[in-house]
């Protein structure tokens, strides 16, 4: 870790611009490419992540509006280029290739499935473009060009399992999507459960785009576990699994490692009672979060998608990139990349610094979904270390 002082950027929250300025800032207007800083956002507008992707884009739009109202980055307007990665590997390859080599973006900042991220990383490495990954994920994905400002299992699993243990749970059934995130999260979870004295009575996976969970839920009913922990692809699979689990009448404690607050709201009453752990919930009671939510409401009104643990890191990451560029004095990737570990952003989740092997210590919260889809925070855990993630990278 660098011994140089960390620069802290405090995110402004007053709305300072008119609609015309927004159009010029986001779309670039007649400005030349040399007069802009272009942020690429590959994201799952279709596929599994389509439920949550619009909230991610909205967070990015607010950040860019605020930054352009304050003069941009190094005096240049910030422009967004959004590309649909279809929530998977094939779509990500096309999106990353287009953004890096055709659109010539200065940076990639986005929430994506692990399948999309893994497919895009070789293209990032070839293009040598900074990439801030803003999605919680299974951990230990490393690239000289990538930073992560969201949680990993080392930060997220313990609050749920420890709580279930206190509630008397001894047997667990694990359900996941059959790809890197689902299997990686549940492998960590299985190890943690067994180390803390619990027993796994089932461990089942379905394809990323699965919609029928009948066979797996039949196995759950037969095993009759004290608790169920799931880790699907974010968005649509969470909705179908939860609805079918509730319809099956299964009463076990239910911990979901992949549901965000926005998706929980879309589930209606089926989400009530789910236990989740994350780094962001809308009812975090801080001035910074209240100001952020007010700005989102003002900007998007009735079209606002619920801010969540997959969209708020996007907002903060754009500010982190701004701080790093300003610290480096240039958008040159070779100078921006080390600077990303040396800047702190104070935003809705608190102070975020990506200085732990390209990851960030995070304040984590254990919560339970209420009938209206909001999350009641039960406890908090300050500055949880991400653990060993990318020890070969500084």
Same domain, 143 and 216: no
pLDDT tens-place values along the chain, 394 residues long: 233 447 677 776 544 333 334 333 444 443 445 799 999 999 999 999 999 999 999 999 999 999 999 999 999 999 999 999 999 999 999 999 999 999 999 999 999 999 999 999 999 999 999 999 999 999 999 999 999 999 999 999 999 999 999 999 999 999 999 999 999 999 999 999 999 999 999 999 999 989 999 999 999 999 999 999 999 987 788 999 999 999 999 999 999 999 989 889 889 999 999 999 999 999 999 999 999 999 999 999 999 999 999 999 999 999 999 999 999 999 999 999 999 999 999 999 999 999 999 999 999 999 999 998 889 999 999 999 999 999 998 6
Query: Which pLDDT belongs to residue 16?
Result: 37
pLDDT (0 to 100) of residue 8:
75
Please check whether residue 26 lies inside any domain of the structure: no
DSSP letters of 107-132?
EEEE---HHHHHHHHHHHHHHT--EE
Regarding whether 294 and 216 lie in a shared domain, the answer is no
Residues 143 and 160 in one domain: no
pTM of the model: 0.91
Is 172 domain-assigned?
A: yes
Cα-to-chain-centroid distance, residue 85: 15
Give dist(CA 97, CA 103) in Å, integer.
9
Q: Is residue 80 part of a domain?
A: yes
pLDDT of residue 236: 84
Distance from C-alpha of 251 to C-alpha of 224, rounded to nearest angstrom: 9
Domains contained in the chain, number: 2
Q: What CATH number should be reported for the domain holding residue 230?
A: 3.40.50.2300
Same domain for 141 and 13: yes
Looking at residue 12, what is its pLDDT? 64
Residue 204 lies in a domain: yes
Which domain does 326 fall in, by range? Answer: 3-17+34-151+286-360
Task: Note whether 108 and 65 are same-domain residues.
Answer: yes
**Can you give the pLDDT at residue 100?**
98
| Structural domain includes residue 371 | yes
pLDDT of residue 4: 40
Alpha helices in the chain (DSSP H): 19-27, 53-69, 89-97, 114-127, 153-166, 180-195, 214-223, 236-247, 261-266, 287-300, 312-328, 333-339
């Amino acid at each position: 870790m660098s011994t140089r002082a960390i620069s802290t950027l405090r995110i402004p929250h007053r709305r300072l611009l008119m609609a015309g300025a927004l159009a010029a800032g986001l779309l670039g207007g007649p400005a030349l490419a040399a007069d802009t800083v272009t942020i690429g956002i590959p994201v799952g507008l279709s596929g599994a992540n389509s439920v949550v992707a619009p909230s991610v884009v909205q967070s990015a739009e607010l950040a860019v509006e605020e930054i352009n109202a304050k003069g941009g980055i190094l005096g240049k307007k910030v422009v967004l280029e959004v590309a649909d990665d279809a929530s998977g590997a094939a779509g990500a390859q096309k999106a990353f290739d287009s953004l890096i080599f055709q659109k010539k973006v200065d940076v990639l900042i986005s929430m994506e499935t692990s399948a999309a991220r893994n497919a895009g990383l070789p293209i990032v490495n070839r293009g040598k473009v900074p990439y801030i990954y803003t999605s919680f994920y299974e951990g230990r994905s490393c690239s000289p060009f990538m930073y992560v400002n969201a949680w990993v299992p080392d930060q997220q699993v313990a609050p749920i399992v420890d709580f279930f243990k206190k509630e008397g749970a001894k047997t667990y059934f694990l359900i996941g999507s059959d790809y890197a995130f689902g299997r990686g999260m549940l492998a960590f979870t299985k190890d943690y459960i067994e180390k803390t004295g619990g027993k796994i009575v089932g461990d089942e996976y379905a394809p990323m785009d699965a919609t029928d969970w009948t066979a797996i839920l039949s196995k759950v009913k037969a095993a009759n576990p004290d608790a169920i922990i799931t880790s699907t692809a974010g968005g649509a699979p969470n909705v179908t699994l939860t609805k079918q689990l509730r319809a099956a009448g299964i009463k076990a404690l239910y911990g979901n490692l992949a549901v965000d607050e926005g998706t929980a709201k879309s589930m209606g009453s089926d989400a009530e009672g789910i236990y989740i752990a994350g780094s962001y919930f809308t009812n975090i009671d801080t001035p910074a979060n209240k100001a952020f939510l007010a700005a989102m409401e003002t900007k998007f009104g009735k079209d606002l998608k619920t801010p969540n643990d997959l969209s708020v890191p996007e907002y903060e990451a754009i500010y982190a990139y701004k701080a790093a560029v300003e610290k480096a004095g240039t958008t040159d990737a070779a100078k921006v990349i080390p600077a990303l570990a040396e800047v702190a952003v104070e935003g809705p989740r608190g102070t975020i610094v990506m200085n732990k092997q390209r990851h960030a210590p995070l304040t984590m919260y254990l919560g339970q979904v209420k009938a209206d889809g909001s999350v009641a925070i039960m406890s908090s855990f300050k500055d949880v270390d991400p653990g060993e993630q990318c020890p070969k990278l500084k």
